[in-house]
Amino acid sequence: MATEKPDLRREAGQRTRDGLMSAALELLADRGQEGVTLREITDKAGANVAAVSYHFGSLRALCDSAIEHALESYLDEQIRAISALGPASTIDELAEAFALPMVRA
């Protein structure tokens, strides 16, 4: 019975991509899209500049992907919180379920 070997290059590539995304999110949250540089993101992620081009195409595409990821996560959490409410929920509970994911973000 042969066991499949993990694709180490794919895993390393995914770690690099995730690291770039994480670094971009952190820097974007601190300074906004106009306040970050490619070099800052890659230094924070421990990646080389070419990795941004390989995984995202450009700094702008990386920033757009990071913002889209953050918004999707926020909306998913908001949907979960609202869906967890019962039919007897109050307007205050609805407002909290709607706003709390934004406050956490």
Cα–Cα dist 57/75, whole Å: 26
Answer whether residue 70 is part of any domain.
Answer: yes
Domain that holds residue 85: 8-104
Answer whether residue 2 is part of any domain.
Answer: no
Q: What is the pLDDT of residues 14-62, one digit of tens each?
A: 999 999 999 999 999 999 888 899 999 999 999 999 999 999 999 999 9
Q: Could you tell me the CATH number of the domain that includes residue 97?
A: 1.10.357.10
- The answer for residues whose C-beta is within 8 angstroms of residue 100's C-beta and 6 or more apart is 81
Q: What is the pTM of this model?
A: 0.76
Cα–Cα dist 24/93, whole Å: 33
Q: What is the pLDDT of residues 62-100, one digit of tens each?
A: 999 999 999 999 999 999 999 999 999 999 999 999 898
DSSP string computed for 55-88:
HTSSHHHHHHHHHHHHHHHHHHHHHHHHHT--TT
Tokens of 96: 């909290």
Cα–Cα dist 54/42, whole Å: 13
- Residue 36: DSSP 8-state: -
Answer whether residue 1 is part of any domain.
Answer: no
How many domains are there within the chain? Answer: 1
